[in-house]
Amino acid sequence: MRTVNAYAAPSATEPLVKTTITRRDVGPDDVEIDIAYAGICHSDIHTVRGEWGPIQYPQVVGHEIVGHVSAVGENVTKHQVGDRVGVGCMVNSCGECENCVAGNEQYCLKGNIGTYASVDADGSITQGGYSQAVVVNEDFVLRVPESLDIEKVAPLLCAGITTYSPLHHWNAGPGTKVAVVGMGGLGHMAVKIAVALGAEVTVLSQTTSKQEDSLRYGAKAHYATKDPETFEKLANSFELIINTVSAKIPMGDYLGLLKVDGTLVNVGAPAEPLEVPAFALIPRRLSWAGSAIGGIRETQEMLDFCAEHGILPETELISADQVNEAYERVLSSDVRYRFVIDAATLA
């Protein structure tokens, strides 16, 4: 066992504090990673504040992890000491159910083991990436292409794959009009990826304050959802809407923006239930869907796609002791567009 420094939530209501946690010995199929950077996802905040249900404390979160391999177990074939690697939201799954076999470990029928706040094989609770090192089964460790700046790449492991997967699944590409709702960590990745896939992209943000960035990332248009005229102007405009908003929004208004047979995919995961009026769906044969991160194979495909297209998140690097301040800024939509913790500041 190895003791490492970390930032943990002591309870649902207190700020995160510096602490130590232990990492298991490197097993035969394990890779030990010295963490270099860890992104801050809004899910980290929902989790530590107990918004998705009670958790055990203290809890270290963080599921956008990049670093270098520092040790490998005797059976490991996929990674070598020194490799640049990443870990996203999962660290294991059953590997045998129909979904795991199909490469959709995120939909494992026995429940995948999350990078944090999950019960691990040994009964302990998994602890996430706001820490100096982590030990993970080699199958859940991704190769990070050399061309992607290591200081910025971490958010691809959650924000990147969570938007790539539905864009791919619902065939965003040349000739499709896609709207992205919410221009935060996930939203700005959705814009960049949808543009690279060849779709025509519109951003729906609360205000026009992020308009310049939307257009710089390749969106064709940016509209403020605080302006009721937006919903009249854009009625019947899109084949696909990706909703990344972390709060409850009026789904009926957004469904009105879809064309016949269109799909609104919810990746945003607010604590409160969302409400969908039946008559927002019925008259135009619409689909309202959800999507969770992506499988391991697909996550590797996304990293390689981002390397090929030169796609990286826009990040703000912080030291670990700034994490509580960063949380407040995420909550007030004041992040451009992902905070990344420099794990060297945990030393």
- Contact residues toward ligand NAP (CB under 6 A) are 41-43, 46, 158-159, 162, 182-187, 205-206, 210, 244-247, 249, 267-270, 291-293, 330, 333, 335
**How distant is the alpha carbon of residue 265 from its chain centre?**
15
Alpha carbon 41 to its chain's center: 6
Q: Is 135 in the site for Zn ion (CB under 5 A)?
A: no
Cβ-based nearer residue to ligand NAP, 206 or 300? 206
Q: 334: which 2 tokens?
A: 């004041």
Under rule CB under 5 A, residue 132 binds Zn ion:
no
| Distance between start and end Cα atoms, the chain | 18
Interacting span for Zn ion (CB under 5 A) from 2-10, 43-51, 116-124, 229-237: 43-51
Q: What CA–CA distance (Å, rounded) separates 268 from 242?
A: 9
Residue nearer to ligand NAP on the CB measure, 15 or 270: 270
Which partner from the list ligand NAP, Zn ion, none does 166 bind, CB cut-off 5 to 8 Å by kind?
none
Residue 182: contacted member of ligand NAP, Zn ion, none (CB under 5 to 8 Å, by partner type): ligand NAP
Q: What is the DSSP letter of 274?
A: P
Asked whether position 41 contacts Zn ion by CB under 5 A, the answer is: yes
Contact between 312 and 299 under an 8 Å Cβ cutoff? The reply is no
Write the interaction track for Zn ion spanning residues 136-165; mark x where CB under 5 A is met and - where it is not: ----------------------x-------
Which is nearer to ligand NAP, 128 or 187 (by Cβ)? 187
Query: Which of 70/291 has CB closer to ligand NAP?
Result: 291
- Tell me the residue type at 304: D
Contacts for 112 with CB less than 8 Å, ≥ 6 apart:
90, 92, 93, 105, 106, 118
90 - beta bridge partners? 114
